[in-house]
Structures are given as C-alpha cells and as structure tokens.
Structure 1
Amino acid sequence: MTTQTAPISGPVADEDKAEVAGLPRRIVEAWARYDADAFAAVFTDEGTMILPGVFQKGRESIRAFTSAAFAGPYKGTRVVGTPIDVRFLSPEVAVLITRGGICVEGETEPAPERAVHASWLAVKQPDGWRLAAYQNSPLNNG
C-alpha cells in the first residue's frame, strides 16, 4: 500500500492515516456480525454507496439496504478488503482504494465474479473519519 500526503492544507497526523486505512476493517467487522447499524455508522449522514446496480444515499438508506441484504442475498457471506492506496487531499479529506469482494462459504478470497476494486472518499468529522462516498466495480482480471 502506498500513502501520499498532500501538504496543501497542512500535515496529516499519523492517527488520521491509521483511521482512514482502518475504514475497510470497520466494514469487514460489521459485515462479519451482519450488523447493518455498525455498517451504516461508517458513513456520513448523507453518505452515498454505489454498487453494481445499486445507489443508496444517506445513512438510513444504507442501513436499510444492508439489513435486507444481510437477511437475503448476503446471508452466509463475508467481505474482504485490503487498502492498496491512500491519498490525503487535505488533512480532512482522503481517498482510499481497496481490492476485495464478497466471499461465500468455503472461500478464502472472492471468486473472480465477486472481486472488486473500490474507491472510498473519507472525511474527518468531529467524531472521527466517515465515508462520504463509496463505490465499487468488478475487478479486471483480464
């Protein structure tokens, strides 16, 4: 993983770098418990989540979508995600790129059809770092 800091607005604290890089872990942990509330709590109040065929805006919409997905198509799955790039646009805004996807029972890594690259736009809020926007798309394995 590479980390680039843009000192345009000042230096970025090491704890901020760690917290941004830790956002995928928070999503993985929430998914492992099928906890839609914890999943949605990673987002800002007006955060967006874009998946193939899905657009959700706002923490409550994200929570409702994830709750239904955990009870339906995502039941029995787990998600993985590894940061491959982190860039700070300012001390309060960062872009994180991950590689990962959804694993079904017995898989240690996502099958090619469930593997993704994702972009995360993180913003620093008074209570910590949150996702303002998340989007993933299929991993190009070709």
Structure 2
Amino acid sequence: MRRMIITSSLLLALSATAMASQVYKWVDAQGVTHFSSQPPRGQQATSINTAAPPPAKPVEAAEPDVIPTFESISDPEQAAIDKKVRQEVAAKEAERKKYCEDVRTNLAQLQNNPRLRMEVDGEVRRINEEERQERISAAQKAIADNCQ
C-alpha cells in the first residue's frame, strides 16, 4: 500500500506540468495589466507559458536602497500591486521547495526499492527494471533542472 502511494505521488509530481492551464496577459485602455485564464473579448492578449518549471535559483536581491519599500511608493495602487507580486513570488518559491522535496523523496524510494508496484486501470502490477530506471532518470533530471 505504501509503495503504491509513493508511486502515485511520483506520477502526480511528474505530471504537474501537464495539468497547467493557459494564462493570458493584456493591457486595458487605462494602461492596467491584467492576467486571466480566458482572453478578453475585443482585445489582443498574449499567451504566457505556464508549463515552464519554477526558477531554479532565487533572484539575488538588489541593494536595499534600490528596492522601494511599500511606504516610499507614492501611488497606493502600485504599492498594492507590488505587495501582491511579492506574495505571489514567495508562494511560488514555497511551491518549488515542496516540489523539490517530493521529487527527492520519490527518487530515494525508487533507488532503494527495486520491486515497486503501481496501480493501472484498477490492476496492481510490478514495474520492471527498465521502467524503474526511466523514472529514476526523470526524477534526477527534474531535480537538476528545478532544485539546485
């Protein structure tokens, strides 16, 4: 049962990019940038690639005197937008860390357990060594691409 859960978790973690939805970006008549899952009617929108993995390395912060604080921004709307963006960036970083932790756990399970079983169409079957090695390679690639 435990192995089935671990295998299912690995499959779920590796299929996250397949479940990503399309996001559209456009600027309205007032110059405000919008993001939505559906393009606006009567306006041109650009499609944003959401299938890309989160950034591998955090962006290095600039010098403290270069980054404006919420209090130093005179436009309250811009300050709210900046605060929201910072919260979204922090949430994405937390999501990336969780993803990396899950992939590392799944990789350890794949490497330590040569006899793994998985449920396919209601039937439990043992994965062969070739499948296991493919999954190990995929997990190692995901770690190398997203978790350094």
TM-score (norm 1): 0.27
* Greater helix proportion: 2
Q: Computing the radius of gyration over CA atoms, which structure comes out larger, 1 or 2?
A: 2
TM-score (norm 2): 0.26
